[in-house]
Amino acid sequence: MKLYHSPASPFVRKVVVLLHELGKADAVELATVTTTALASDTGLMVANPLARLPALERPEGVTLYDSRVITAYLDDLYQGGLYPSGARRWETLTLEATGDGIMDSAVSMIYEVRLRDAARQSPEWIEAQWGKVARGLDALNTRWMSHLSGPIGAGHISVGCALGYLDFRHEGRDWRKGREALAGWYEGFAARASMTATTP
């Protein structure tokens, strides 16, 4: 299997962390590409018409995207149990959506600054995106600590990669301030071998 990859992408990191957690990091070949919303990699465009990372080419079927489809597929393939059954499944999917949503807004803030010239950038839009990130973090810190304290699942991986991305690209925002429970959880999660092996 071939994974279209960039070491800086938190969505790609989710997939690679999950592979490490499954003990299957060697099961995919990493095809590193450089792509942005304004200049798409042509090979990636063939694999995923949306030209977004990650995409997973498989010998036995269609190329998979987006990251949530890929993580669910790999967990199913290797029977990892990272999407549990019962009530915890819906929590896991919602937690994963929360982590992914934080990444969406955090990545789009970087695009605004890097892909638009200074005169056309919108500080209001950037702050509105940070507002979504901040509310997601507050929800994690107040409503999700009990789930996060339980067995690792796909939601934990998404949240861990989202927080890692905030440290990587938005360090000045000090996301830990006033969110001590979440910060404490992340300290432990960031020390996992799957995370240290994939630090951007």
Ligand X SMILES: N[C@@H](CCC(=O)N[C@@H](CS)C(=O)NCC(=O)O)C(=O)O
Q: What is d(CA 147, CA 62) in angstroms, rounded to the nearest whole number?
A: 33
Q: Is 100 in the site for ligand X (CB under 6 A)?
A: yes
101 Cβ partners below 8 Å, 6+ apart? 132, 136
Angle at 52 between CA 70 and CA 65, to 5 degrees: 20
- Using the rule CB under 6 A, give the single segment among 29-37, 84-92, 143-151, 168-176 that binds ligand X: 29-37
Please identify, using beta-carbon distances, which residue of 53 and 148 lies nearer to ligand X: 53
Q: Which of 70, 19, 11 is nearest to 35 (CA)?
A: 11
Please identify, using beta-carbon distances, which residue of 150 and 169 lies nearer to ligand X: 169
Kindly write out the interface string for residues 44-73 of this chain, putting x where it contacts ligand X by CB under 6 A and - elsewhere: -------xxxx-----------xxx-----
Q: How far is CA 163 from the centre of its chain?
A: 9
**3-state SS assignment for residue 127:** helix
Q: Is 40 in the site for ligand X (CB under 6 A)?
A: yes
Q: Is 113 in the site for ligand X (CB under 6 A)?
A: no
Please identify, using beta-carbon distances, which residue of 11 and 186 lies nearer to ligand X: 11
| Amino acid letter for position 167 | D
Q: Is 18 in the site for ligand X (CB under 6 A)?
A: no
Please identify, using beta-carbon distances, which residue of 73 and 145 lies nearer to ligand X: 73
Q: Please, what is the minimum distance in Å from the beta carbon of residue 185 to ligand X?
A: 22
